[in-house]
A and B are shown apart, each in its own frame.
Chain A
Amino acid sequence: MRSTSHRPVLLTRGLAVTAALALAALTACGGASTDGGAAAAPGQSGFNPPALKAATSVGAGEGQVNLVAWAGYAEDGSNDPKVDWVHPFEKATGCKVNTKVAGTSDEMVNLMKTGEYDAVSASGDASLRLIASGAAAPVNTDLVPNYKDVFDGLKLKPWNSVNGVAYGVPHGRGANLLMWRTDAVTPAPDSWGVVFDPASPYKGKVTAYDSPIYIADAALYLMSAKPELGIKNPYALDDAQFQAAVDLLKEQRQIVGEYWSDYTKEIQAFKGGDTVVGTTWQVIANLAKAEKAPVEVTLPKEGSTGWSDTWMVAADAKHPNCAYKWLDWIISPTANAQVAEWFGEAPANAKACEKTSDPSFCDTFHATDEEYFSKVRFWTTPIAQCLDGRADVKCKDYSEWTRAWTEIKG
């Protein structure tokens, strides 16, 4: 899975994120239902995390810090000599960085459980599991000076906090967009309906993301297409809502040409015209355009799903001071700009936009556009206890999402 091409990070991450999501979701769900049933805070994760205390001060560095990170999140120049925000950190703080790259969220959770690591870049599916299992401690954001410059749209969200307590600092974010070929799809679509219409004129040339989490995309579309279902959160689906989303996807399968899971495959499909419309990421659209494919992307009127990662600190970190220094460093304007550009996502720090090497980077990725991201429902692990706060029904957890995805694909 390690990529060797000039943009190594993306492929790995695409697969990893999917896998991670799936895993995390699975685990997070079941537990919540058993332990946290009593205290379902509406709109929040709905479980009671172990009582852990956040740090109250950051002292001198311990000389090193052990990180678990996605590929591309802690670059030390070994992939590209120009891409290096680890050595400057070591120089500034005296904390030597030992990075363990994890391929999936599940691997991240397991690595964090070993107790050998101090901090982790967890996706929305892993973060809840880490919190619930007591592997991650609350983060005192007052000790992270750069936190004040993080976009408000990323602070204290269900995937990085519980009951108003922050469990990490946001790293960046991205949306799952609708992409189409301008020469084949007219008029320009502004709704996900174009990929869900069974009578679509683009039959056989529609693509969808190959992961159980894509069920949330169908649920999101149903929120506006079938309001009578009463879906409030695409990651909290009861039996009837879930069945409606699955039925919609089974219907969609008739018009799908192929499901994509890595970016090379999708770029090539759009470039060659085998796929003319479907879901994508901003960075894929940029690469496809760079290869002269006539494509456009939009955030449809229904909104979209998306992803956002969080840097968290281990509950039993051996180097907590260096971990806090790293958290502050990775969301500092310069480092956050570097990582966002290398990875292809919107930075978390508002001031990072002044530091990007491409002056229009933040506009391209809509980094400062809160209205844009207000329409994005970030990936969260579906758990048996409904994330939208309903206490009278049980929601489908991620293991059921995974089974359903196999059935949808037939």
Chain B
Amino acid sequence: MTTSAAVGRTGPRARVAAFLHRHARVRLSLLLSAPLAWLGLAYLGALAALFVTAFWSTDTFTGDLVRTFTWANFHDLVTGDVYRTIALRSLGVAVAVTLIDLIIAFPMAFAMAKLASPRAQRWLVILVLTPLWASYLVKAYAWRVMLSSEGLLGWGYGLGATIATLSYLWLPYMILPIYAGLERLPNSLLDAAGDLGARGWRTFRTVVWPLSFPAVVAGSIFTFSLSLGDYITVKIVGGKSQLIGNVVYDNIGAANNLPFAAAVATVPVVIMLAYLAAVRRTGALENL
């Protein structure tokens, strides 16, 4: 035991350890290199590949990629009325879903965080999470049955049905961040507002809302981006309507036109970047 300890203290392992101990920056860079490589290559690399592909075209005979630069895909995308209509429709659906989820989720999260007993709180969180355990398809088809003209709701299929179904699907992603945000809000602030004479609405407007805004933004990023990329729900309950995701899917799956699909896929990326930039200006991202 003594020999091994002695060897350990002078051996290569000990020297490396000592070196790392003295050089904090080297240690840090070694620690971060694996996750950064993952982020850079697998994630940003994939996005970059998407952009590059969008400037290529396909050989209509062999289906192979033609790797020469062309603006044709973006030209088609911008000049085609149908693509503008679809992009605006998708944006509208994403906004509607986010607003509906916000209106439902905020009171619910508030009740969970501030009104329920600690024991009830735990159960409520579990209940909110439960739907996430069921398959996405099962839930979408369940809505299809409910929305059918002989179903429980009987609204029929279409854009409204799509919005309702997506609102249901993404609701937990809105509730949980807001709940977490409100839980961190000290009760004493609410009491203080009351002591200073503020009624419910004023307390909400000047205390609760500003402090929980970053959490609302976090939730909205989930619901907004998830809705913007969805193409399955609209296939199941959307009747004859289509969204950006369907155009991407059709061009990959049916037409094998990867470059055009990539060009279409940049639309939601641009919308999300614009949304994040707008959110950043409000300062909400710093408080997340």
Contact = CB atoms under 8 A, between A and B. Distances in A.
Contacts of B83: 406
A410 B256 contact: no
B254 interface: yes
A155 B156 CA distance: 45
B254 A274 contact: no
Interface string B45-68: 000000000000011111100000
B92 to A, nearest CB: 14
A406 B76 CA distance: 13
Interface string A385-398: 00000000000011
B8 interface: no
Given A406-B242, A409-B242, A273 B150 contact: yes
A269 interface: yes
Contact of A27 (B61, B238, B242, B250): B61
Contacts of B80: 407
Q: How would you classify the secondary structure of chain B's contact residues: helix, strand, loop or mixed?
A: loop
A22 interface: yes
Nearest to B157: A258
Contact of B253 (A19, A28, A32, A273): A19
A238 B110 CA distance: 62
Interface stretch (B32-40, B140-148, B220-228, B273-281): B140-148
Interface in B210-249: 235-236, 238-242, 247
Contacts of A325: none
Given A19-B254, A268-B148, A273-B150, A409 B240 contact: yes
Nearest to B144: A268
Given A253-B240, A257-B240, A27 B63 contact: yes
A31 B61 contact: yes
B151 interface: yes
Nearest to B257: A399
Contacts of A402: 250-251, 254-255, 257
A286 interface: no
A406 B240 contact: no
Given A406-B247, A410-B82, A34 B254 contact: no
B254 A272 contact: no
Interface in A257-286: 257-259, 261, 264-265, 268-269, 272-274
Nearest to A103: B253
A2 B230 CA distance: 19
Given A272-B148, A274-B148, A27 B62 contact: yes
A405 interface: yes
B157 A22 contact: no
A18 B254 CA distance: 7
B161 to A, nearest CB: 10
B142 to A, nearest CB: 11
B239 A26 contact: no
A130 to B, nearest CB: 11
A258 B240 contact: yes
B149 interface: yes
A193 interface: no
Nearest to A28: B61
B117 interface: no
B85 interface: yes
Nearest to B256: A23
A133 interface: yes
Contact of B255 (A204, A253, A399): A399
Most B CB contacts (10 A, CB to CB) among A256, A273, A397, A403 go to A403
A106 interface: yes
A18 B235 CA distance: 15
B141 A264 contact: yes
A22 B82 contact: no
Given A256-B240, A274-B157, A23 B61 contact: no
B254 A211 contact: yes
A132 B149 CA distance: 49
Interface in B69-85: 80, 82-83, 85
A104 B256 CA distance: 10
A274 B254 CA distance: 27
B254 A212 contact: yes
Contacts of A33: 61
Contacts of B61: 27-35, 132
A298 B157 CA distance: 27
A220 to B, nearest CB: 20
Nearest to B237: A258
Given A30-B59, A402-B250, A406-B82, A272 B151 contact: yes
Contacts of B58: 26, 399
Interface string A108-119: 010000000000
Given A19-B253, A31-B61, A257-B239, A407 B145 contact: no
A204 B157 CA distance: 10
Given A19-B254, A402-B257, A265 B144 contact: yes
Given A253-B240, A397-B60, A261 B150 contact: no
A106 B242 contact: no
Nearest to A404: B82
Given A257-B240, A405-B250, A406-B242, A272 B257 contact: no
A22 B149 contact: no
Nearest to B148: A272
Given A261-B235, A268-B144, A272-B145, 13 more contacts: A27-B62, A34-B61, A106-B256, A211-B254, A258-B240, A272-B151, A274-B157, A384-B60, A399-B257, A402-B255, A406-B82, A406-B86, A410-B85
Q: Which 8 A-B pairs have the closest CB atoms?
A: A31-B61, A30-B60, A22-B254, A27-B63, A402-B255, A30-B61, A272-B148, A23-B256
Interface of A: 15, 18-19, 21-23, 26-35, 104, 106, 109, 129, 132-133, 204, 210-212, 253, 256-259, 261, 264-265, 268-269, 272-274, 384, 397-399, 402-403, 405-407, 409-410
24 contacts: A19-B254, A22-B250, A26-B63, A27-B60, A29-B60, A33-B61, A104-B253, A211-B254, A212-B255, A257-B157, A257-B240, A258-B238, A265-B236, A268-B145, A269-B148, A272-B148, A274-B149, A399-B255, A402-B255, A402-B257, A405-B250, A405-B254, A406-B247, A407-B82
